[in-house]
């Protein structure tokens, strides 16, 4: 790879989050499994929206949140994801550029609206998500800027995209572009149900292209059909393919960084009272990848991940409210 223009390029859904508080009984009423992501169509999204309490809107999207986090640390990220040319699309584009992420995917001029994710935060600070993909599901090969992907140190992709056959194909091509140009590929497994729906495909992807895997406990055990987290860790250590590191998060129990040679435990670092876990995994990946592309050792990468996740869980919303660069300086 010639000199990289970007540290990380993320490909994912361009989504505006609609965040509201809800009680557990409200989730049961809507047949939602707490802590997971449900796909809904436009009508379901509208019906649910009518039923929820007052909300706030904030830009979201898993990979987009991770890129925003890397920018907040002072890194150089780029993002590829599809919006519509509507008010929410304008909000998404503004926010990701305003934090310093390179973003120039052409929005749709008509058709489906910009994606919305209704996020219900229960009193235990857990988040449950109802995603209407809208325009973000139209991401295709035409949007994959090969020059951009080839000039990034890491390509970061979402398991979420495996629900979209066209997008998935385009992303696999992007993985080829990245590896051919000497870049690394990082994948987040995104959601246990996503892993369940696409286990074989994701397993093949990991073996063929992925250098760095991000997953939480449920996702990694689902991928390896393991009975416990420890069993899943053993499965990761034994995995063939090109995986060099698995960055596994365990909520309040912190994170485990697994390579063939080592296993590093990192405690969680909540910055205060935990009020909303939305974005915890995304920001863990942000800190980790910021450190990784800067050349830090894996222990420091994991600490940076815990630091970023620890900030985002102490307020409503999935993106940092303060400069992570400033927090990073304090960590030193």
**Residue ranges binding a copy of itself (CB under 8 A):** 21, 49-50, 52-59, 68, 86-88, 91, 94-96, 98-99, 113, 317, 319, 321
Q: Check: CB of residue 142 under 8 Å from CB of residue 44.
A: no
Quote the least distance from Cβ 129 to a copy of itself, whole Å: 17
Quote the least distance from Cβ 141 to a copy of itself, whole Å: 29
Quote the least distance from Cβ 49 to a copy of itself, whole Å: 6
* Nearer to a copy of itself (CB atom), residue 89 or residue 159: 89
Angle between helices 165-180 and 199-209 (to 10 degrees): 10
Strands 115-121 and 127-132: antiparallel
Quote the least distance from Cβ 99 to a copy of itself, whole Å: 5
* Nearer to a copy of itself (CB atom), residue 54 or residue 165: 54
HSE, side-chain direction, 13 A CA sphere, residue 197 = 16
* Nearer to a copy of itself (CB atom), residue 59 or residue 177: 59
Measured CA to CA, the distance from residue 144 to residue 162 in angstroms comes to 16
Measured CA to CA, the distance from residue 190 to residue 161 in angstroms comes to 9
Measured CA to CA, the distance from residue 230 to residue 251 in angstroms comes to 15
CA dihedral angle for residue 159, residue 286, residue 291, residue 194, rounded to 10 degrees: -20
Quote the least distance from Cβ 1 to a copy of itself, whole Å: 30
* Nearer to a copy of itself (CB atom), residue 166 or residue 321: 321
Question: What are the helix (H) ranges across the chain?
Answer: 24-29, 42-51, 62-73, 87-98, 146-150, 165-180, 192-197, 199-209, 217-223, 229-238, 280-294, 298-312, 324-331
* Nearer to a copy of itself (CB atom), residue 42 or residue 230: 42
Residue where the block lists tokens 């009020």: 275
Per-residue tokens: 222? 């689902």
* Nearer to a copy of itself (CB atom), residue 55 or residue 264: 55
For residue 105, report the phi and psi dihedrals to the nearest 5 degrees.
-65, 130
Measured CA to CA, the distance from residue 116 to residue 94 in angstroms comes to 16
* Nearer to a copy of itself (CB atom), residue 135 or residue 243: 135
Residue where the block lists tokens 């590896």: 179
Quote the least distance from Cβ 313 to a copy of itself, whole Å: 16
* Nearer to a copy of itself (CB atom), residue 52 or residue 194: 52
Quote the least distance from Cβ 291 to a copy of itself, whole Å: 22
Radius of gyration of the chain (CA): 18
Quote the least distance from Cβ 203 to a copy of itself, whole Å: 36
């Amino acid at each position: 790879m010639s000199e990289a223009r970007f540290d990380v390029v993320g490909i994912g859904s361009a989504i505006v989050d609609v965040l509201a508080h809800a009680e557990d009984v409200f989730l049961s009423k809507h047949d939602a499994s707490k802590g997971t992501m449900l796909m809904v169509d436009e009508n379901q999204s509208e019906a649910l929206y009518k039923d929820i309490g007052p909300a706030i809107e904030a830009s979201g999207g898993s990979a987009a949140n991770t890129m925003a986090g890397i920018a907040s640390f002072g890194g150089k990220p780029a993002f590829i994801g599809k919006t519509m040319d509507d008010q929410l699309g304008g909000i998404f584009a503004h926010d990701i550029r305003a934090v310093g992420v390179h973003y120039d995917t052409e929005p749709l001029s008509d058709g489906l609206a910009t994606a919305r994710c209704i996020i219900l935060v229960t009193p235990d600070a857990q988040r449950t998500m109802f995603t209407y993909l809208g325009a973000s599901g139209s991401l295709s090969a035409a949007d994959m800027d090969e020059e951009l992907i080839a000039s990034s140190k890491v390509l970061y992709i979402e398991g979420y995209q495996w629900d979209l056959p066209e997008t998935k194909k385009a992303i696999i091509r992007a993985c080829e572009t990245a590896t051919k140009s000497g870049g690394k590929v990082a994948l987040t497994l995104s959601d246990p149900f996503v892993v369940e729906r696409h286990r074989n495909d994701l397993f093949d992807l990991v073996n063929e292209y992925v250098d760095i895997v991000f997953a939480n406990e449920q996702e990694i055990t689902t991928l390896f059909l393991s009975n416990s987290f420890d069993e899943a860790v053993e499965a990761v250590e034994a995995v063939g393919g090109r995986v060099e590191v698995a960055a596994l998060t365990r909520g309040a129990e912190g994170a485990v960084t697994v390579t063939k040679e080592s296993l590093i435990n990192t405690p969680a670092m909540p910055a205060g009272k935990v009020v909303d876990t939305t974005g915890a995994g995304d920001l863990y990946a942000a800190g980790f990848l910021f450190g990784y592309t800067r050349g830090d050792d894996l222990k420091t990468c994991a600490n940076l991940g815990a630091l970023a996740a620890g900030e985002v869980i102490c307020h409503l919303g999935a993106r940092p409210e303060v400069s992570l660069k400033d927090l990073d300086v304090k960590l030193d």
